[in-house]
Amino acid sequence: MNEFSIVCRLLGTLFQRAPNDPILSPIITMIGDGKLSQLWPLEQDELFTTLKNNVKDLQAMELDYQSLFGNDSPAVSIYAHDYCDVKEEEVRQFLQTRGMPVTDNATDSFGALLLAASWLEDNAAQDEVLAQTQLFDDYLLPWAGSFLGKVEAHATTGFYRTLAVIARGALSALREELADDENESPAD
């Protein structure tokens, strides 16, 4: 797993799962111990220090997550189709065409799209850069700024406000990396 995949997988997991989810426990611990920032390939040390300082109250983080993204009446929709013309069925078809196994869960959530980008990086065939670029340009970036802005505006903890800022910077860096990879790819 390379740096692109790691960034997508970690951010995707942090947005896709509530803080009390057992799968997040080791990640939350690493953030709290300052160890995730040591492994993070992007230069966002100051933001990770802020994130670390806001991971102390797991109950407040859980309440914030549920208020932001919970099922009852979330303050912020996590789905692309609520921000732009992206249709969940279209995302599902795109991922299945590239061989990604999908569940019955929605494929157009912010976290799911980042996890899909990680999967494409790790499992896709020769056209992985093209597939990742299409995923970013067609399904993620058209609405990510609006989504992250709403997270920043509605979050009650510094954890989710900071996570939104980290994600914004990471998406920009990841898209630049894809552009560099496209330019380096030999023409067919």
pLDDT at position 123: 85
Place of tokens 């569940």: 103
pLDDT band at 186 (very low <50, low <70, confident <90, very high): low
pLDDT at position 124: 65
The radius of gyration computed from the CA coordinates of the chain, to the nearest angstrom, equals 16
Q: Which domains does the chain have, with CATH numbers?
A: 3-184 (1.10.3480.10)
Euclidean distance between CA atoms 109 and 101, whole angstroms: 16
Is the pLDDT at 2 greater than 50, yes or no? yes
pTM: 0.92
Q: What is the per-residue pLDDT across 18-53, written as a single tens digit (0 to 9) for each?
A: 999 999 999 999 999 988 877 787 788 888 889 999
For the residues 82-106, what does the mean pLDDT come to?
A: 94
Sequence-distant (≥ 6) Cβ neighbours of residue 184 within 8 angstroms = none
For residues 159 and 51, is the Cβ–Cβ distance under 8 A? yes
Is the pLDDT at 71 greater than 80, yes or no? no
For residues 162 and 50, is the Cβ–Cβ distance under 8 A? yes
pLDDT at position 184: 76
Place of tokens 């898209």: 175
pLDDT at position 126: 62
Euclidean distance between CA atoms 142 and 145, whole angstroms: 8
For 65, other C-beta atoms within 10 Å of its C-beta total 23
pLDDT at position 120: 92
Euclidean distance between CA atoms 10 and 64, whole angstroms: 19
Residue percentage of the chain with pLDDT more than 90? 70
pLDDT band at 188 (very low <50, low <70, confident <90, very high): very low
